[in-house]
Structure 1
Amino acid sequence: MKIAYDAKRFFHNTSGLGNYSRDLVRILAEFYPQNQYILLNKNKSELGRDILDLPNVSFVKTSDGTMSRQFKMGKDAQNVGADIFHGLSGELPLKWNKKPIKKVVTIHDLIFVRFPQYYTWFDRKIHFWKFRKAANTADRIIAISQQTKEDIIHFLKIKENKIDVVYQGCHAGFKEKPTDEFLEQVKEKFDLPDRFVLNVGTIEERKNLLNVVKALKDSGIPLVVVGSRKKKKYVKKIESEIRKNGVEVYFLQDVSMEELASVYRLADIFIYPSFFEGFGIPVIEALFSETVVITSNTSCLPEAGGPDSVYVNPDNVDDIKAKILFLWDNESERKRRVEKGLQFAQKFNDDVIAKDLMKVYEGL
């Protein structure tokens, strides 16, 4: 088969949709080398260069012009003889020619519908129109969780039998044990405490870092945070809470993927009390890093965390605090849950995900 991808996120997003795009192409090229994988975009970047070096992965420059991604990319895929076009971020081209091609779209979440207060009116309207149009155009829809599948059925009014759930994996670096020397280097570089609770994710209201800071009041437990500061007003609220309650917080910047994997392993507890996620990759990263997880009992997070993570009501600061203290003071319980969590995480291994993806393609 010859499969073409909308590679805008592949080349230009450093996290989130970019990681999903790069991981998907990488694992398919590795486990199904007999196929050709074509990356369509106006230009390349340093991101994903190692994947583009693979013999069965190639780059095709798309046609120039205004809105070429919407009006020309689909035809470009048809003109290079692609059997399948896969939109990796909830969108598909609007124009096609008469050459046969099957269309697949991945929808990650519909958070803009569930939490409209986090988006402008214009963004909500544009997102909803694009996602519904892509869902109706596609021959198959990939949802990254059961929760997202249910949202597609409910909000976009798509029939269940058109949707396949294919989970995401995570970067291979989280599955490899770093050396003790590298762990020590990372600890010294970022001046990390001997023990700490870790939070990873964009600093915005939906991710709920504020309630973690509140929960750590008077606990004496340090918190390490890795994530871009997306909402300045929300960041100021958190900084005010830190000053008021005297919580020890370390904000890390410019952390490489290899360093982040080590920070996970150095942490005693990983906490991710998000109000809503499409999937929750940081939870998977923590499980593979053999760090016990506390996350929310909402949306898809129990799908990602499995039966041996610890779950909290994200609105309840007392609940968050109690669960942190329970694990912080109980090493044997942390170890037990880590072992079980690592076993559960094997369902998110590359070979499993590649097989599920290829099953969707072959079904077309």
Structure 2
Amino acid sequence: MDLRIREIFGNFGGTMAHEAGSYRIGYDAKRVFHNFTGLGNYSRSLLMYLKTYYPQHAYHLFTPSVKKNERTAPFLDPAQFSLHQPSAMPGGWWRTFGLGSALQRAGIQLFHGLSHEIPRGLHKTSVKSVVSIHDLIFRRYPQLYSPIDRQLYDWKFRYACRHAGRVVAISESTRQDILHFYGLPPSRVTVIYQSCDARFLQQVDETERNRVLAHYGLPQDFMLYVGSVIPRKRLLQVVQALRACRHALPLLVVGAGKAYLQKVKTYLRQHGLEKRVFFPGPVDFRDLPALYQAARMLLYPSVYEGFGLPAIEALFSRTPVITSSLSSLPEAAGPGALYVDPDQPESIADAMDRLLDQPDLAAALAEKGYQHVQKFHPQTTTTQWMQLYEELIESGG
């Protein structure tokens, strides 16, 4: 992956490197090794970009355990990353209460909590800290969580926001939620947008695209949904929109779900739409760029996202987006989307018809969206992160 990133963006080490020497930076890497959707993708992409663009620094990964597969292999390479695991203390307890001591023993100068948490008591040590906050869904939509989960998340988030040297939100929408719910001074909360995996910035050739479509038994022409199949992402309203859409273009659903997925499938059976929607099951992450680039549009009418990564993956693929104007989604999709009411299937169907009836509109949105997402280019976001690291370490923030 390191080589592929360099091939795409070039070697920026000469102009982007920190000239004062190397840093020892530690990370909560649990989700690097155990989460293969949003939080895990964020963590792995950021770490690989940092290692590629700033190879002079030492990157230390702290995790209770590891899972070995193709996506975690680079992070198990001792030539690239230093791995730290608990020797005796239970992993969950170590991650919350023992990690501060482990960071000090490893000589870490700055700790980055990649997903909402920092170790207890870290602010009492010499280790500086920053935390990434992705969303506050449990506060905006508490009915989606059990009381005990809400209490646990609030305990972790509140502690991290109060004690981290800097809080980084992945969107302005999330930043406003942090200020609203936790009352932090605005100067302590910074926005650094998320980027996406380097695979999505490469053009897939026709041979590879046809291989991927054949592998999953897909037609050449389809609409795409990417994301967990859960109520707030409104897949049910999307399939309801298929009935109102004047075009019979099929829909490909890439994402897993449980009860809500069964509700969607029940609706499809009841209305004779089973053949209009493809559920291929697990999709290899390496095949996603081909699917984005082959799709006529991405359907993503979520009611709340911390950022909305599928929107920028689609726009880097020059595929137009249908989404909602809620939470962070206008930040992610910008002028590359048609905006709909996510609770009104007729609104979604109208947007589908507009893109299918007006290829010039679809092409214009795709081009405007592609230009918009350059602000999320890995070079830009990684530079912002390293500048923040330098500020915190050098100033004692």
User: Unpaired runs of 5+ in structure 1?
Assistant: none
Displacement of 1:93? 0.7
Letter in 2 for 1:29: K
* 85-94 vs 58-67, which moves further: 58-67
Match in the other structure for 1:17: 39
State the TM-score, normalizing by the size of structure 1.
0.96
Letter in 2 for 1:159: P
Residue 123 in structure 1 maps to residue 149 in structure 2: yes
Q: Tell me if structure 1 keeps the 8 A contact 2:315–2:336.
A: no
Residue 82 in structure 1 maps to residue 111 in structure 2: no
Provide the rounded CA distance (Å) in 2 between the counterparts of 1:187 and 1:85: 42
2:336 match: secondary structure: coil
Provide the alpha-carbon RMSD of the alignment: 1.5
Q: Tell me if structure 2 keeps the 8 A contact 1:283–1:304.
A: yes
Displacement of 1:105? 0.7
What is the aligned counterpart of 1:40 among 44, 57, 62? Answer: 62
Residue 5 in structure 1 maps to residue 31 in structure 2: no
Displacement of 1:98? 5.8
What is the aligned counterpart of 2:129 among 80, 97, 103? Answer: 103
Q: Tell me if structure 2 keeps the 8 A contact 1:167–1:348.
A: yes
User: Unpaired runs of 5+ in structure 2?
Assistant: 1-22, 393-397
Provide the rounded CA distance (Å) in 2 between the counterparts of 1:328 and 1:305: 19
Q: Tell me if structure 2 keeps the 8 A contact 1:227–1:252.
A: no
What percent of counterpart residues are identical? 42
1:353 match: secondary structure: helix
Match in the other structure for 2:380: 352
Aligned pairs for 1:181-330 (under 5 A) are: 181-219=207-245, 220-229=248-257, 231-232=258-259, 234-247=260-273, 248-330=276-358
Pick closer, same or farther for the CA change 1:214–1:160 going to 2, 3 Å.
same
Aligned pairs for 1:24-173 (under 5 A) are: 24-46=46-68, 47-53=71-77, 55-66=79-90, 67-96=93-122, 99-173=125-199
Pick closer, same or farther for the CA change 1:298–1:71 going to 2, 3 Å.
same
Displacement of 1:53? 2.9
Q: Tell me if structure 1 keeps the 8 A contact 2:336–2:367.
A: no
Measured against aligned partners, the alpha-carbon deviations of 1:149-170 in whole angstroms (never above 9, x if no partner) come to: 0000001111110011011111
Letter in 2 for 1:166: I
Match in the other structure for 2:7: none
State the TM-score, normalizing by the size of structure 2.
0.88
2:225 match: secondary structure: strand
Provide the rounded CA distance (Å) in 1 between the counterparts of 2:288 and 2:374: 20
Provide the rounded CA distance (Å) in 2 between the counterparts of 1:245 and 1:42: 47
Pick closer, same or farther for the CA change 1:98–1:276 going to 2, 3 Å.
closer
Q: Tell me if structure 1 keeps the 8 A contact 2:129–2:164.
A: yes
The number of residue pairs the alignment matches comes to 362
Letter in 2 for 1:59: L
Pick closer, same or farther for the CA change 1:236–1:43 going to 2, 3 Å.
closer
Displacement of 1:56? 4.5
Displacement of 1:283? 0.5
Pick closer, same or farther for the CA change 1:313–1:97 going to 2, 3 Å.
closer
Provide the rounded CA distance (Å) in 2 between the counterparts of 1:360 and 1:163: 12
Q: Tell me if structure 1 keeps the 8 A contact 2:135–2:174.
A: yes
Measured against aligned partners, the alpha-carbon deviations of 1:92-138 in whole angstroms (never above 9, x if no partner) come to: 11134964110111110000010111110110011011100111110
* 249-258 vs 47-56, which moves further: 47-56
Provide the rounded CA distance (Å) in 1 between the counterparts of 2:244 and 2:306: 33
Displacement of 1:240? 2.0
Q: Tell me if structure 2 keeps the 8 A contact 1:105–1:138.
A: yes
2:362 match: secondary structure: helix
Pick closer, same or farther for the CA change 1:302–1:85 going to 2, 3 Å.
same
1:72 match: secondary structure: helix
Pick closer, same or farther for the CA change 1:126–1:351 going to 2, 3 Å.
same
Provide the rounded CA distance (Å) in 2 between the counterparts of 1:24 and 1:121: 32
Provide the rounded CA distance (Å) in 1 between the counterparts of 2:351 and 2:43: 35
Q: Tell me if structure 1 keeps the 8 A contact 2:335–2:365.
A: no
